[in-house]
Structure 1
């Protein structure tokens, strides 16, 4: 919840996170009131999360709840519902990766489908190639709820920004909210392309390892070249996405 003493960086993060929730709803990557997006309050060990029970298309910046690493809400927000179990995966990443600002977890049909395939993400598309050597995997242990699982999840993610949770879904994170959303968007598109290609019934062409690796390096270089004055990637994409949200319903900024 917002307060008169809120810093400008926190307000900016709240608005970016609210936009991310709305975008996930817009691109049909939600799962009722489940799955979450979290963002670190700049310079703090506090994390913003949606109030439990709200649909993603309803989220506003002012109603996001600040929690600690255990999912406990700030003082004054104790009565706001928070899905602490849903924050479990996020807290594992935030604790292990101080470089990460935002963590997104989804249960899309394509993401679950590819995560359940033995080969995982195959190099069947340009979207997939951007993740060559940059995607992790984590086996499904049941509902995640203990410290051993928290450590295993963080270990499996390693230094990557995306991970397929086997038989479960997608995890994407970034040094900013826009970066996390763009990573999620393209991994989701890669999964959609793979499900469509394999469903066609014909033999598929898999990209050569060298070609896929070169493509991934090209995407890395393009991202670094296009950083804005504040050093953030994907500013052009984010500006376009938030313009779209404003045209639909600008209440996410409130």
Structure 2
């Protein structure tokens, strides 16, 4: 075998391993979302781009609960919504529209998560949206985009509006609908969703007290980025990496069947 052939074989093996790794991480993420209470029957979706395959990403099989998602049954699709590998499953049309639009337009959006949590949908239904008046929401100062409700997201015409609403942000509140976050990695997306979900939970909880809300000065929000840099100065890891790893260890102790490659 020639050196050239050996090189191609090595690249193919590396690429296959990269896909196996990302499949395992994404399957773990589905289990983590369920552990966090963010699953919704068989609905909602988390997607990630396939390393080295332009325009391909992985999505959950339509019809399976998050606890049933595994590395091997994740479905590989392309930006046009076509399934590009043998599978016994279909994919959720609404999920395909949302995720294909964002993956196709945003190079930095390697992973996208979308949930219908009670707290998230409650804030999404409120006219004022997310207030910047609690610890978590202040961390999201000037980082949240909003998209107006247009019904079930299955019409191609909504793609352009969705992308215009999201712009260059990683946090999107879909009005009357739910929450969406993107990330450069699965862990990054997970941590972004954690912050947005917690911010919504606290707002809903505070509102239920019926008491006046203590205001947070806008200057605190403006300082947040600098404060985060100080907080993370001695933690030389990417956003969400430690948190995701910790949650993965927890779900592994309960059920590691998602690692079925």
Superposed pair shares fold, TM > 0.5: yes
The 2-side partners of 1:75 and 1:62 are apart by 12
Shift of 1:85: 2.8
Three-state SS of the structure 2 residue aligned to 1:171 is strand
Partners of 1:88 and 1:150 within 8 A in 2: yes
Partners of 1:114 and 1:120 within 8 A in 2: yes
Partners of 1:227 and 1:234 within 8 A in 2: no
Q: When the two structures are aligned, how many residues end up with a matched partner? A: 247
1:45-56 alignment to 2 at 5 Å? 45-56=55-66
Q: 1:133 to 1:245 in 2, by over 3 A?
A: same
Aligned to 2:72: 62
The 1-side partners of 2:250 and 2:214 are apart by 35
1:1-254 alignment to 2 at 5 Å? 7-44=16-53, 45-77=55-87, 79-219=88-228, 222=231, 226-228=235-237, 232-254=238-260
Partners of 1:39 and 1:49 within 8 A in 2: yes
Q: 1:220 to 1:81 in 2, by over 3 A?
A: farther
Q: 1:221 to 1:71 in 2, by over 3 A?
A: farther
RMSD after superposition: 1.8
Shift of 1:155: 1.2
Partners of 1:37 and 1:50 within 8 A in 2: yes
Shift of 1:51: 0.8
Aligned to 2:5: none
Q: What TM-score, normalized to structure 1? A: 0.91
The 1-side partners of 2:173 and 2:158 are apart by 15
Shift of 1:116: 1.2
Shift of 1:220: 5.6
The 2-side partners of 1:117 and 1:42 are apart by 38
Q: Deviations over 1:218-250 (max 9, x none)?
A: 23665687443xxx4332222211111111111
Three-state SS of the structure 2 residue aligned to 1:87 is helix
The 2-side partners of 1:17 and 1:224 are apart by 28
The 1-side partners of 2:229 and 2:116 are apart by 26
The structure with the larger Rg is 2
Q: 1:53 to 1:220 in 2, by over 3 A?
A: farther
Partners of 1:226 and 1:234 within 8 A in 2: no
- Runs of 5+ consecutive residues of structure 2 not aligned to the other structure: 1-11
The 2-side partners of 1:242 and 1:173 are apart by 19
Q: What TM-score, normalized to structure 2? A: 0.89
Partners of 2:143 and 2:169 within 8 A in 1: yes
Moved over 4 A (4+): 220-225
Q: Deviations over 1:134-169 (max 9, x none)?
A: 010000011222333101101111111111000000
